[in-house]
Structure 1
């Protein structure tokens, strides 16, 4: 009996090591791209927004011949500027948000000296309301109660009943009987 008790920790250690062969290795673990780790845990992903949000409305205001300062006022500071290519500004925008599709866009402003020569805009540049709809991950619950009546629903309501024993309002009665207040400019004191 004694040798069996002495070998019990060794058997437990061998069972644990044997069980480790069934765990996935680091190479076989799924990447953190929305998949579940170890098959049942969904990791938290930080929302990352980089660059300038540019919409069709913003880009439409920029015209060739504008100065660098005017373009910066309308579009903001570019994300990338190169010392060796001062005539090119790159407006890069990326967003990673859970529940929304990954978005990446590049708008390139090319200058000739200090004047805007060309603005290269991608075809998929959204309008402002399209962009908001694309990044809005809030899905309203269908069980949310309606909080306001429409005009037609208000008109269908019966008018309020007037009761004869309703108390008159304080404004209709005037000041309450028996209450008097001293004037605000009255002087009080005993030594004048």
Structure 2
């Protein structure tokens, strides 16, 4: 009888497992939402060199490698077996902004730039900033000044009975003497 009583809690525990739902029947991540309720935080991933139309326009064939590096930055990829090719890949994955991926290739003949392969969708600086800007300002701007009608509707300021007269009307307050600001001026007087 004792072994049967000792096994009852174990049997009850095992019996409860059959009531639990299966993991594949639970709601899962659908699109951008977890369990259909909240959006998880996704880490921003920015890799490579940001190159814009303005930056690429300054680079001309015949420039030395050092000058190209000064204008475009160090290439992300240089191959020991292909010294005449520099790759400038760029990818950005940011929450609330579309995924971007581009590749600019600089080809050299010796130490001089032979050509620059630029993708058609290379943005200008203004377009690039607009594409990664996920800040959406509110449509309602704060009010900074009152209109004349609002100023007239304001109550007049209250004057207290103990208000001291202005310093210009009476002169310096009696009994107040201030030390000179300059030590030299105080020594001579």
Same-fold call, TM cutoff 0.5: yes
Residue 19 of structure 1 corresponds to 20
Over aligned residues, Cα RMSD in angstroms? 3.7
Q: 1:101 aligns with which of 85, 94, 98?
A: 98
Query: Cα–Cα, structure 1 residues 67 and 181, in superposed 2: closer, same or farther, change >3 Å?
Result: same
Q: Cα distance 1:30–1:177, how it changes in 2: closer, same or farther (>3 A)?
A: closer
* Cα drift, residue 30 of structure 1: 5.7
Query: TM-score when scaled to structure 1?
Result: 0.71
Indicate the larger mover: 105-114 or 130-139.
130-139
Counterpart in 2 of 1:111? Answer: 108
Q: Does 1:73 align with 2:70?
A: yes
Corresponding residue number in structure 2 for 1:146 = 142
> After superposition, what is the alpha-carbon deviation per residue over 1:35-79, rounded to whole angstroms, capped at 9, x for unaligned?
444555543221110000000111111011111000000000001
What are structure 1's unaligned runs of at least 5 residues?
none
**Which of these residues, 129, 133, 137, is aligned with residue 132 of structure 1?**
129
In structure 1, how many angstroms separate the alpha carbons of the residues matched to 2:40 and 2:53?
35
Q: Shift of residue 148 of structure 1? A: 3.9
CA drift at 1:180? 4.1
Higher mean C-alpha displacement, 4-13 vs 108-117 = 4-13
**How is 1:1-192 mapped onto 2 (pairs within 5 angstroms)?**
6-17=7-18, 19-20=20-21, 22-24=22-24, 35-37=32-34, 39-40=36-37, 42-142=39-139, 144-148=140-144, 157=148, 176-178=172-174, 179-181=176-178, 183=180, 184=183, 185-187=185-187
| Inter-CA distance 56–176: structure 2 relative to 1 (3 Å threshold) | same
- Which residues of structure 2 form unaligned runs of 5+? 153-158
